[in-house]
């Protein structure tokens, strides 16, 4: 029941929120309660699985149709379910003050329900339906609450993912035909047809979603135009569907083809790491920069998957959870800044460390997490991905090291432009202090007086900060729950190291 609740509660919440949409305070309350309820259910599912270690399942026998609404949760799904639940709450809090808040919050909850469906589906048909259902609320969030260029971005997002899903659909049909059923099982037998064909058709859909270079250009546009809460869900959760699909379907159903394609995945992963970083370095729009950094981070996830080993899968899982938290926090912060300044151009800012110290502190923290600083959540995943793929592929992986340095470059460049320096538009009141060094002596803000983070914004930021630190210090928070499932996957992949 818990598993069904994870889909039903946000879905019911979405419908209720939409129904009471005109009465904004009530709509907000309903949305928040459903998001929190979903998070509670996720916690319950987590603790149950942690205790029993057995795959949780839920079936409704549908009339004459075998079972279509089949759900299951294991170590691969639960970390992402938990991530979705956490970010669902954060998204609701972020979309709190949106125009037409009822509709906005309803779409966010609908999105959450659909994503839960993807992660929990134990049936290929349900998987596909949920996969496509995710696009609908996202499309309307971008189209209805986006920025200037939203029509172009929404359409681009649609065309890319449509092209990917169309191929994936063919792959799923073949998979159903050749595996002899729609149920998703852990250890399927050999397919009755070409593994390679199925693998590449499925991978087409998954890799667009991740996204890998060169299938990624929908991502920056979609992010820049999406409302902040949409960006949090898009980067935090939707991209994970690609990595999840690779591990849920490709790894067990087409292990041979996946092993043959491992080097292609590694090339795509490293390409994403370097290309995403180079692009991020060239941006002047802060949100675009964060969007490109997502391409780089997801490159590490693909790299971990390509390694095909237990450590590699752990790296991919850690990378996905961490990116959800860190990119979620960064998009939230950029959005909070945009709400105040109505621009995202880095050149328009400067000296926010002086004028908005609390925002700046969290932004510096998130930036350090984003560049993979050990002790914060980005590091364990990157580390495991690099080390494991080095074990599989050897020296070519050194190219990813370029991305590691560039990650420092683009993140700290953003910090320097936005947080450091004199407050933008200030008269630059300078003084000479006792040490002979000139620096700004006036402690007060001059320049545009934007308010610092408020209580609601703290409620979004602080839990994410805590989780980023916890996961960075002790990655086994995630890998312990995932390890049995990931070990089985690695065993299927044929490499254990």
Partner 1 sequence: MMPLWLVVVAPVAIAVLIAGAGSRPVRFTRWLAAAGPVLALWAGMERLLAGHGESAASTAGSLSAEWLVTAVGPLGIGLAADALASVMLVVVGVVATMVVVFSTGYMADDPAQPRYFALISAFSAAMTGLVLSTSLLGLFVFWELVGACSYLLIGFWFTRPSAARAAVKAFLVTRVGDVGLLFALAVLWSQTGTVSIEGALAAAAGLGTGLATTVALLLFLGAVGKSAQFPLHIWLPDAMEGPTPVSALIHAATMVAAGVFLVARMWPVFEASPTAQLVVLVIGCITALGAAIAAVPQTDIKRVLAYSTISQLGFMFAALGSGAWIAAIFHLTTHAAFKALLFLASGSVIHGSGTQDLREMGGLGRVMPVTTATWVIGVAALAGLPPLAGFFSKDGVLDAVWVHAPAAGVVLFIASALTAFYSFRATRLAFGGTWRGQGHAHESPLSMTAPLVVLATLAAALGAATWWFAEALGGHGHLALPIAIASSVVAAGGAALGWSAYGAGPATDDALAARLGALWGSARSGFGVDAAVVAFAGAAERASAAASSVLDGTVVDGVVHGVVKVARWAGRELNSLQSGEGQLYAALVGAGAVLLASLALWLGR
Least Cβ distance, residue 365 to partner 1 (angstroms)? 10
- 390 forms part of the interface with partner 1 (CB under 8 A): yes
SS (H, E, C) the chain: CHHHHHHHHHHHHHHHHHHCCCCHHHHHHHHHHHHHHHHHHHHHHHHHHHHHCCCEEEEEECCCCCEEEEEEECCCCHHHHHHHHHHHHHHHHHHHHCCCHHHHHHHHHHHHHHHHHHHHECEHHHHHHHHHHHHHHHHHHHHHHCCCCHHHHHHHHHHHHHHHHHHHHHHHHHHHHHHCCCECCCCCCCCCCCHHHHHHHHHHHHHHHCCCCCCCCHHHHHHHHCCHHHHHHHHHHHHHHHHHHHHHHHHHHCHHHHHHCHHHHHHHHHHHHHHHHHHHHCCCEHHHHHHHHHHHHHHHHHHHHHHCCHHHHHHHHHHHHHHHHHHHHHHHHHHHHHHHHCCCEHHHCCCHHHHCHHHHHHHHHHHHHHCCCCCCCHHHHHHHHHHHHHHHHCHHHHHHHHHHHHHHHHHHHHHHHHCCCCCCCCCCCEEECCCCCEEECCCCCCCCCCCCCCHHHHHHHHHHHHHHHHHHHCCHHHHHHHHHHHHHHHHHHCCCC
Least Cβ distance, residue 480 to partner 1 (angstroms)? 8
- 397 forms part of the interface with partner 1 (CB under 8 A): yes
Least Cβ distance, residue 65 to partner 1 (angstroms)? 5
- 448 forms part of the interface with partner 1 (CB under 8 A): no
Least Cβ distance, residue 441 to partner 1 (angstroms)? 8
Instruction: Dig out the tokens for 284 from the structure.
Output: 């002047």
Q: What is the Cα–Cα distance from 63 to 67, expressed in whole angstroms?
A: 8
- 158 forms part of the interface with partner 1 (CB under 8 A): yes
- Count the residues of the shown chain that bind partner 1, applying the rule CB under 8 A: 97
CB nearer to partner 1: give 69 or 119: 69
CB nearer to partner 1: give 42 or 368: 368
CB nearer to partner 1: give 16 or 489: 489
Which one of 374, 396, 431, 494 is in contact with partner 1 (CB under 8 A)?
374
CB nearer to partner 1: give 98 or 318: 318
**Contact set for partner 1, span 226-285 (CB under 8 A):** 275, 278-279, 281-283
Q: Which of 280, 331, 326 is nearest to 301 (CA)?
A: 326
Which one of 187, 342, 437, 455 is in contact with partner 1 (CB under 8 A)?
437
Least Cβ distance, residue 77 to partner 1 (angstroms)? 20
CB nearer to partner 1: give 44 or 458: 458
Part of the chain binding partner 1 (CB under 8 A), chosen from 41-49, 184-192, 254-262, 439-447: 439-447
Strand, coil or helix: 455: helix
Least Cβ distance, residue 496 to partner 1 (angstroms)? 6
Least Cβ distance, residue 389 to partner 1 (angstroms)? 9
Q: Which of 302, 241, 205, 323 is nearest to 77 (CA)?
A: 241
CB nearer to partner 1: give 33 or 348: 348
Which one of 104, 150, 156, 297 is in contact with partner 1 (CB under 8 A)?
156
Under 8 Å between Cβ of 271 and 298: no
Which one of 439, 451, 462, 494 is in contact with partner 1 (CB under 8 A)?
439
CB nearer to partner 1: give 9 or 296: 296
Q: What is the Cα–Cα distance from 378 to 387, expressed in whole angstroms?
A: 15
- 167 forms part of the interface with partner 1 (CB under 8 A): no
- 383 forms part of the interface with partner 1 (CB under 8 A): yes
- 53 forms part of the interface with partner 1 (CB under 8 A): no
- 469 forms part of the interface with partner 1 (CB under 8 A): no
Phi/psi region, residue 428 (left: phi>0; alpha: psi -120 to 50; beta: rest), is left
- 310 forms part of the interface with partner 1 (CB under 8 A): yes
Residues 115-154 as x/- pattern, contact with partner 1 by CB under 8 A = --------xxx--xx--x--xx--x---------------
Least Cβ distance, residue 353 to partner 1 (angstroms)? 5
- 67 forms part of the interface with partner 1 (CB under 8 A): yes
- 36 forms part of the interface with partner 1 (CB under 8 A): no
- 25 forms part of the interface with partner 1 (CB under 8 A): no
Part of the chain binding partner 1 (CB under 8 A), chosen from 114-122, 204-212, 245-253, 386-394: 386-394
- 358 forms part of the interface with partner 1 (CB under 8 A): no
CB nearer to partner 1: give 88 or 117: 117
- 475 forms part of the interface with partner 1 (CB under 8 A): yes
Least Cβ distance, residue 60 to partner 1 (angstroms)? 13
Which one of 438, 454, 462, 494 is in contact with partner 1 (CB under 8 A)?
438
- 452 forms part of the interface with partner 1 (CB under 8 A): no
Number of Cβ within 10 Å of residue 281's Cβ equals 17
CA distances from 491 to 266, 394, 415, 486 (A): 19, 21, 43, 8
**Contact set for partner 1, span 170-209 (CB under 8 A):** 172-173, 176-177, 180-182
Phi/psi region, residue 209 (left: phi>0; alpha: psi -120 to 50; beta: rest), is alpha
- 490 forms part of the interface with partner 1 (CB under 8 A): yes
- 399 forms part of the interface with partner 1 (CB under 8 A): no
């Amino acid at each position: 029941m818990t598993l069904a609740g994870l889909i039903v509660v946000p879905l019911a919440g979405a419908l209720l929120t939409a129904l009471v949409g005109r009465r904004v305070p009530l709509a907000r309350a309903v949305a928040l309660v459903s998001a929190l309820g979903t998070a509670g259910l996720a916690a319950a599912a987590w603790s149950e699985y942690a205790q029993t270690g057995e795959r949780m399942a839920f079936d409704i026998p549908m009339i004459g149709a075998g079972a279509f609404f089949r759900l299951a949760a294991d170590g691969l799904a639960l970390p992402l379910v938990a991530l979705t639940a956490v970010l669902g709450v954060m998204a609701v809090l972020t979309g709190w003050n949106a125009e037409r808040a009822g509709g906005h919050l309803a779409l966010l909850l609908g999105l959450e329900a659909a994503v839960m469906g993807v992660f929990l589906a134990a049936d290929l048909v349900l998987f596909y339906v949920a996969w496509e259902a995710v696009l609908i609320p996202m499309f309307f969030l971008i189209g209805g609450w986006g920025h200037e260029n939203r029509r172009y971005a929404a359409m681009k997002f649609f065309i890319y993912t449509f092209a990917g899903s169309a191929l994936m659909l063919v792959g799923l049909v073949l998979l159903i035909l050749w595996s002899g059923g729609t149920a998703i099982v852990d250890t399927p037998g050999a397919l009755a047809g070409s593994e390679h064909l199925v693998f590449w058709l499925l991978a087409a859909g998954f890799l667009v979603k991740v996204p890998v270079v060169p299938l990624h250009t929908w991502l920056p546009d979609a992010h820049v135009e999406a409302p902040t809460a949409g960006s949090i869900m898009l980067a935090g959760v939707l991209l994970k569907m690609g990595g999840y699909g690779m591990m849920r379907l490709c790894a067990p159903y087409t292990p041979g083809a996946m092993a043959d394609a491992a080097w292609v995945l590694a090339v795509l992963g490293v390409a994403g790491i370097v290309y995403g970083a180079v692009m991020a370095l060239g941006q002047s729009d802060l949100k675009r920069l964060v969007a490109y950094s997502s391409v780089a981070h997801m490159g590490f996830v693909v790299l971990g998957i390509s390694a095909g080993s237990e450590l590699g899968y752990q790296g991919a899982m850690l990378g996905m959870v961490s990116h959800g938290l860190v990119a979620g926090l960064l998009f939230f912060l950029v959005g909070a800044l945009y709400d105040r300044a109505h621009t995202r151009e880095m050149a328009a800012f400067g000296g926010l460390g002086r004028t908005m110290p609390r925002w700046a502190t969290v932004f510096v923290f998130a930036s350090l997490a984003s560049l993979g600083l050990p002790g914060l959540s980005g590091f364990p995943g990157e580390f495991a991905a690099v080390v494991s793929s080095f074990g599989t592929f050897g020296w070519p992986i050194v190219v990813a090291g370029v991305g590691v340095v560039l990650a420092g470059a683009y993140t700290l460049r953003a910090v320097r432009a936005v947080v450091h320096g004199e407050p933008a538009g200030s008269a630059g009141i300078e003084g000479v202090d006792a040490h002979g060094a000139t620096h700004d002596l006036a402690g007060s803000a001059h320049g545009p007086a934007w308010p610092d983070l408020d209580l609601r914004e703290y409620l979004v930021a602080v839990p994410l900060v805590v989780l980023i630190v916890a996961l960075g210090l002790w990655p086994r928070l995630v890998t312990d729950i995932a390890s049995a499932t990931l070990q089985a996957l690695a065993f299927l992949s044929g490499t254990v190291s």
